[in-house]
Amino acid sequence: MMEAIANIEEFVKDTKTYDQFADNKILCHAVAYNLQCIGECAYKLSREFVASHSDIDWMAIEGLRHVLVHDYYAVNFRTVWSVVTDDLPALKEWLNRKEQLRKVQFV
């Protein structure tokens, strides 16, 4: 997940608005692909893990993946942009906190 988030951050680093994002079809699809990767990772998490980490909306992450993969003609890139700007930073922060905990536990 962190690699896909890093990819997205790199891709959109010079993109400040939705209109700039939407005007670049290659960028839109590169971001969508990496969101699919994040969703696939979430989809493969055990139900026990998901249940014990309910502070993340795993169903929404999986749901976005399903739309991006199966309903690609219905993808709303305004929603994709919103996920990138509003939701991805919080997921990254959460994953970073968990990584720090894991490092402490196994050092």
Of 14-18, 27-31, 74-78, where does mean pLDDT reach its minimum?
74-78
Q: What is the CA radius of gyration of the chain?
A: 14
The overall average pLDDT reported for the chain is: 91
Q: Is a pLDDT exceeding 90 seen at residue 8?
A: yes
Furthest-apart CA pair in the chain: how many Å? 47
Instruction: Kindly report whether the global pTM for this prediction surpasses the value 0.85.
Output: yes
pLDDT mean over 5-28:
97
Listed in sequence order, the residues at least 6 apart from 45 whose beta carbon sits closer than 8 Å to its beta carbon are 58
Torsion angle, CA of 25/28/31/32, rounded to 10 degrees? -110
Residue 44 has pLDDT above 70, yes or no: yes
pLDDT value of residue 74: 86
Q: Tell me, what's the pLDDT at 105?
A: 43
Mean pLDDT over 74-95 rounds to 95
Whether the pLDDT of residue 106 is over 70: the answer is no
